[in-house]
C-alpha cells in the first residue's frame, strides 16, 4: 500500500507500471503544479513539470509525453497558442492536450485552439483523473 | 437672447409685416434653447434660429446657405444622409436621430434632432428641423458605460484571481483526504469532507458572481446542443445528493424528448434550485424532483418541505440581489443571485421558471422548457 490509500489499486488499473505513461504539466501556478504532480505521481504516472512555454518545448525536444496538461493562460505564453503549435507540428500533433482553466468561456476557447479535453478550475480530483485515464488510454 | 438683428428675421419673411400671432411664434422659436432650422428640398439651410450662436458659435448668417449635412461629423454623415433622404422621400415624414455637429471652434457636440418634411405645406415649404445639445448626457452615458466595463472587468479579474487559490486549497484538501484515508480517527475524514464541500460552495459563489456580471453585460455564452433532460437532472441530483447528509433527494418521472440548449447552464439552474430546496428546509429531510411533459413543454418540478415563500415575495425572489425581508430568513446567507441567474438562463432557453409556495408550507419551483421535436423523416430541413 502506498501513501495514498487505495493508490496501488488505482495505479494498477490504468497502466503498466514497468512502462509508466508520461504527462507533461504546464502551468505557472506552483501550488497547482504541486497538487497535480503529487496526484499524478501517486497514480503511477511519470510527470514532467514546466512553468512556461519554453520549458515545455524543451521537454518535448527530449521526448514525447503521452499527455499534455496545460493551463489556458500561462504568464509569458498563451496556452492556446502553445496548443495550436503542438497540434500543427507533425511530431506533436497526436499528443492529447487536456486544458485546464479558471477563465470564463475557457472551454470554448480551449476546444477552438485544438485541445482534446477540458477541466475547469477548481476541479474535482476524480473528474481530472477520469479524463487523464481516458486521454492516455487513447494513445 | 434679445439682441436679434433685423437681418436675421429678414431671412425668414423679408418685407412682410408680421401679425401679432406671427410675432408670438417667432419669439418662441428665437428664444428657445433648442435650435430650429429650415432646409429647402436640396438640403440647404434657409433659416436657423439665433440660439445656434451660444450653442455652436456660428452666427445665423454664417450658416444660412450652407448644406444641412456640412457641419455633421464625418462618421455620422452617411447615416444622416439616409435620414435626410428618408425625410425628403415622403411629405409629412418625420424622423429623429442623434449625431455630432462641428462647433465653430473645431470641436464636436452631440445633438438630438428631428426633422419633418413640410415641403408641400403652403407657407412653410421647408424641412423643419429641431435639435438640442445633448453632449452632457452623451458624456454621462459614455462615462457610465466605461464605468460598467471597468466594473465588469474588475469582477472578471477578481473571480479569476479568487478561483486560483480556491483551486489549490481544494486540490490539497482532496490530496489530504486521500493521504489520510486510513487514519483511524473518523473525524479527520469528516472535517476534510466538510472543507471540500465548503470549497465547492465557495467556487459556486465565485462562479455566480462572475456569471452575474456576464448576464448583465450580455456576455454569457450559450451552447446549443440537444440535452437529455432526464439524464442531466439525474446526474445533478446524484451530484447534489453527494454533498448533503441531511436530505434525501427523490427523483421520479421522465420527459419524453430532449431540449435544445446549454447542458452546463441548465445544470447550473438545477444545482441552484436543489441547493435552495435543501438550504430553506432545515427541518425537513426530503426533496422531491419530478420530471414530466405537458404539451410541448418539459417540466422539472423541485419540491421542498421547508419554510416556504409568502405569496407577496413570489415575484421579488427572482430579482437580482433580492433577499426576503424576514428576520428569521436572515439566518440564510446568500448573495441573492442564484434565482435571478437561474431565471435568466431559463428565459434564454425560451422557458419559464416560477414558484408555488405559501409561507411555512414548503416551496415548489417549476422549470418549463420547450422540448425539441426532430423533423419528420425524409423531409429536408
**Interface mutation vs chain B, best among A1, A38, A101, A104, most B CBs within 10 Å:** A104
The answer, yes or no, to whether residue A130 has pLDDT greater than 70, is yes
CA distance B299 to B368: 5
Q: State how far the Cα of B277 lies from the Cα of B306, in Å rounded to an integer.
A: 8
Which residue has cell 456640412? B70
Contact A4 B179 (CB under 8 A): yes
Predicted local confidence at residue B320, as pLDDT: 82
Task: Choose the closest CB to B221 out of A5, A32, A105.
Answer: A105
Give the pLDDT confidence score for residue B101 in this predicted structure. 94
Do β-strands B248-253 and B286-294 pair in parallel, antiparallel, or remain unpaired? parallel
pLDDT band at A1 (very low <50, low <70, confident <90, very high): very low
pTM: 0.62
- For B65, other C-beta atoms within 10 Å of its C-beta total 10
At A10 the pLDDT is: 45
Distance, in Å, from the CA atom of A44 to the CA atom of A19, rounded to the nearest integer, reads 10
Minimum CA–CA partner of B203 in chain A: A122
Is B159 in Cβ contact with A105 (below 8 Å)?
no
**C-alpha cell belonging to residue A41:** 505521481
3-state secondary structure of A23: strand
Partners of residue A31 in chain B, C-beta under 8 Å: 165, 168, 171-172
The stretches in chain B having pLDDT less than 70 are 1-18, 218, 326-333, 375-381
Q: What pLDDT does residue A7 have?
A: 43
Rounded-to-10 torsion of CA A107, A110, A112, A116:
-100
**Inter-chain residue contact A102 with B171, CB threshold 8 Å:** no
Strands, sheet with B286-294, edge to edge from the N-terminal-most edge strand: B248-253, B286-294, B297-304, B363-370, B352-357
DSSP state of A3: S
Q: Which of B164, B203, B223 sits opposite A29 (nearest CB)?
A: B164
Instruction: State the pLDDT at residue B137.
Output: 92
The answer to whether B198 faces chain A, any CB pair under 8 Å, is no
Model pLDDT for residues B110-169, shown as the tens digit of each residue: 999 999 999 998 888 999 999 999 999 999 999 998 988 888 788 778 877 888 899 999
Partner-chain residue, chosen from A6, A35, A42, that has the shortest CB–CB distance to B171: A35
Tens-digit pLDDT profile for residues A70-97: 998 776 668 888 999 999 999 999 999 9
Nearest CA in chain A to B202: A122
Whole-number pLDDT of residue B112: 94
Write the residue in A4, A105, A108 that is nearest to B178 by C-beta: A4
Does the CA dihedral A78-A79-A82-A84 come out positive or negative? negative
Longest Cα–Cα distance of chain B, Å, equals 110
On average, the pLDDT of chain A sits at: 84
CB-CB under 8 Å, B156 with A104: yes
pLDDT (mean) for A129-138? 88
Instruction: Provide mean pLDDT across the span A36-56.
Output: 93
Distance from CA of A120 to the nearest CA of B (A): 10
**pLDDT number for residue B332:** 66
Amino acid at each position: 500500500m502506498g501513501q495514498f490509500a487505495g493508490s496501488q489499486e488505482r495505479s494498477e488499473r490504468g497502466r503498466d507500471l514497468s512502462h509508466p505513461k508520461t504527462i507533461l504539466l504546464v502551468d505557472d501556478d506552483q501550488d497547482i503544479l504541486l497538487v497535480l504532480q503529487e496526484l499524478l505521481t501517486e497514480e503511477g504516472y511519470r510527470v514532467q513539470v514546466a512553468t512556461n512555454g519554453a520549458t515545455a518545448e524543451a521537454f518535448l525536444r527530449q521526448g514525447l509525453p503521452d499527455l499534455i496538461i496545460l493551463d489556458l493562460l500561462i504568464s509569458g505564453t498563451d496556452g492556446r497558442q502553445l496548443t495550436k503549435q503542438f497540434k500543427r507540428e507533425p511530431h506533436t500533433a497526436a499528443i492529447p492536450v487536456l486544458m485546464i482553466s479558471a477563465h470564463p468561456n475557457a472551454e470554448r476557447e480551449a476546444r477552438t485552439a485544438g485541445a482534446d479535453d477540458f477541466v475547469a478550475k477548481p476541479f474535482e480530483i476524480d473528474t481530472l483523473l477520469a479524463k487523464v485515464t481516458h486521454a492516455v488510454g487513447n494513445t | 437672447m434679445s439682441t436679434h438683428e433685423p437681418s436675421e428675421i429678414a431671412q425668414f419673411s423679408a418685407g412682410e409685416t408680421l401679425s401679432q400671432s406671427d410675432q408670438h411664434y417667432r419669439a418662441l422659436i428665437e428664444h428657445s434653447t433648442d435650435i430650429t432650422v429650415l432646409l429647402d428640398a436640396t438640403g440647404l439651410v434657409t433659416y436657423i434660429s439665433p440660439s445656434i450662436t451660444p450653442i455652436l458659435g456660428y452666427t445665423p448668417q454664417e450658416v444660412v446657405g450652407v448644406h444641412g449635412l456640412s457641419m455633421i461629423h464625418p462618421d455620422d454623415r452617411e447615416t444622416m444622409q439616409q435620414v435626410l433622404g428618408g425625410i425628403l422621400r415622403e411629405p409629412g415624414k418625420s424622423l429623429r436621430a442623434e449625431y455630432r455637429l462641428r462647433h465653430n471652434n473645431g470641436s464636436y457636440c452631440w445633438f438630438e434632432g428631428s426633422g419633418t418634411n413640410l415641403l408641400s405645406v403652403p407657407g412653410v415649404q421647408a424641412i423643419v428641423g429641431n435639435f438640442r445639445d445633448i453632449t452632457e448626457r452623451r458624456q454621462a452615458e459614455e462615462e457610465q458605460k466605461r464605468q460598467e466595463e471597468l466594473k465588469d472587468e474588475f469582477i472578471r479579474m477578481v473571480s479569476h484571481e479568487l478561483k486560483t487559490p480556491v483551486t489549490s486549497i481544494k486540490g490539497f484538501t482532496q490530496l489530504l483526504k486521500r493521504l489520510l484515508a486510513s487514519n483511524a480517527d473518523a473525524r479527520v475524514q469528516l472535517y476534510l469532507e466538510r472543507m471540500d464541500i465548503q470549497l465547492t460552495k465557495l467556487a459556486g459563489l465565485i462562479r455566480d458572481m462572475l456569471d452575474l456580471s456576464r448576464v448583465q453585460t450580455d456576455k454569457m455564452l450559450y451552447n446549443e446542443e440537444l440535452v437529455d433532460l432526464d439524464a442531466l437532472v439525474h446526474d445533478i441530483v446524484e451530484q447534489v445528493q453527494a454533498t448533503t447528509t441531511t436530505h434525501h433527494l427523490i427523483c421520479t418521472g421522465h420527459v419524453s424528448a430532449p431540449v435544445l440548449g446549454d447542458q452546463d447552464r441548465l445544470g447550473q439552474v438545477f444545482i441552484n434550485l436543489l441547493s435552495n430546496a435543501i438550504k430553506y428546509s432545515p427541518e425537513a429531510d426530503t426533496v422531491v424532483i419530478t420530471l414530466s411533459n405537458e404539451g410541448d413543454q418539459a417540466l422539472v418540478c423541485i419540491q421542498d418541505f421547508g419554510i416556504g415563500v409568502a405569496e407577496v415575495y413570489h415575484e421579488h425572489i427572482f430579482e437580482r440581489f433580492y433577499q426576503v425581508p424576514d428576520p428569521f430568513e436572515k439566518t440564510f446567507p446568500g448573495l441573492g443571485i442564484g434565482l435571478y441567474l437561474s431565471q435568466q438562463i431559463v428565459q434564454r432557453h425560451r422557458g419559464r421558471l416560477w414558484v408555488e409556495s405559501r409561507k411555512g408550507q414548503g416551496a415548489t419551483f417549476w422549470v418549463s422548457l420547450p422540448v425539441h421535436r426532430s423533423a419528420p423523416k425524409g423531409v429536408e430541413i
